[in-house]
Structures are given as structure tokens and as C-alpha cells.
Structure 1
């Protein structure tokens, strides 16, 4: 089943959700700000996305700029930061079996669904 990590307050995330809905395929919406992924779940996501943890972080978010920017972190520390501050997780993320994409731009989602 398709999963979309979604933030309803984000325009790009809403666009991504619309594309998933239009596919007509069954899907699950994960409101990751309320149902924060665990460290292990983020490790799986990073693996499926084929990106480094830093690539999954919204580096312009206020919390990142004020508390974390300019410092050096291990991959595990970056994942722990995202678990503690899920607002830093890039969105939307669409997962379809072993494929996953960050929906920026939202059109990249089409290749995953």
C-alpha cells in the first residue's frame, strides 16, 4: 500500500496528497507531526529514499537555523534530531513498497505511484 508522510498545513504536501488520491490506488496518510516516525522507521525511509539523513532535513526551518545549523552531526544524530523535532522532516514523502520519493516538486510522486 502507498504511504504518504503528510503535513496538511504545507501546500506542497497537499499537492502531493492530491496526486496520490488521483492515482485511485489505496493509500495511507501518515500525519508525521502527530505520529512521529521512530528512529528505526526513519532509517528505513532514508534507505528507501537513497539519501543521506541531512537530505531529509528542512534546513531553513527556524528550529534548525537556531539550534543545529553550522554544527557537525553523525547520521544517527541527525535521525535522532528528526525524531525529536519532526517539523524538520522534509515533506511530502511517498512510499510505495521499496520505492520512495520526496515530493519536491510534487510531480516526482507520479513516478513512485
Structure 2
């Protein structure tokens, strides 16, 4: 599996990470997850690759996070289901090489995949 960036074109940090990967000349696929969505299986796989911390890949500042009262949710399965149903909850940019995944905030963290 090659490098993938889970990208939101409206996010400045995501756009910056995209530029970093492009300028490095590495091959990568762009996943516009807001358009395509992500399955529960894909999100579980990303959570494993990020080190098992589901909350690390969530946007706690989104209105839907508060609306669903996810700050009180302790079950990772419920958090992943919420992200599958509301892809805006996925933190971005998220980059994965198939073995590990990383939320690239700051975007320069994407350099870890090719340094």
C-alpha cells in the first residue's frame, strides 16, 4: 500500500501538507474523505495505525461533536461509528503509508514519511 493523504481541500493545513508531499516528489493518493466517506473498517484500520487513540484522529471542535455529546463517549466503537456517519469529524490532514498513520498538525509532520 502506498502513501495516502486524507484531504479536505477547504482546510489550509491539509492544503499545506499536500504541497509538502507534492514538492517532495513522493507518490501518493489523495482521499477526499468528505466526498467519498470512510467505512467503519477503514477508520478502525487508521485508528490502529495511529496508535489506537481514536480521539487523536477526531475534530473535537466541530459542532456535530458537541451535538452528539462525544466528549462523554468512552467507547471507541461508538466514536468510529460517529466518524463514519459524520466524516467532518476526522482530523486532517491525516497521512498513512499503510503501516502507520499520522495527523499532520503541523503539516510538516508529513515529512516523516519521506525523510
**TM-score bracket for the superposition, by shorter chain length:** over 0.9
Residue 95 of structure 1: how far off its partner (Å): 0.8
Residue 69 of structure 1: how far off its partner (Å): 4.2
Q: Does 1:87 align with 2:88?
A: yes
**Which residues of structure 1 form unaligned runs of 5+?**
none
Alpha-carbon spacing, 1:70–1:50, altered in 2? closer, same or farther (3 Å): closer
Give the aligned partner of residue 98 of structure 2.
97
RMSD: 1.2
1:5-44 residue pairs with structure 2 within 5 A? Answer: 5-44=6-45
Number of equivalent positions: 113
Flag as ranges the 4+ runs of structure 1 deviating above 6 A: none
**Which residues of structure 2 form unaligned runs of 5+?**
none
CA distance in 2, matches of 1:8, 1:72: 29
Which deviations, in whole Å up to 9, do the C-alpha atoms of 1:8-43 show, x marking residues without a partner?
Answer: 000000001111111212110000001111101111
Residue 97 of structure 1: how far off its partner (Å): 2.9
TM-score normalised by L of structure 1: 0.93
* Greater fraction of residues in helix: 2
Give the aligned partner of residue 47 of structure 1.
48
TM-score normalised by L of structure 2: 0.91
Give the aligned partner of residue 113 of structure 2.
112
Determine if contact 1:5/1:29 at 8 Å carries over to the other structure.
Answer: yes
Determine if contact 2:13/2:92 at 8 Å carries over to the other structure.
Answer: yes
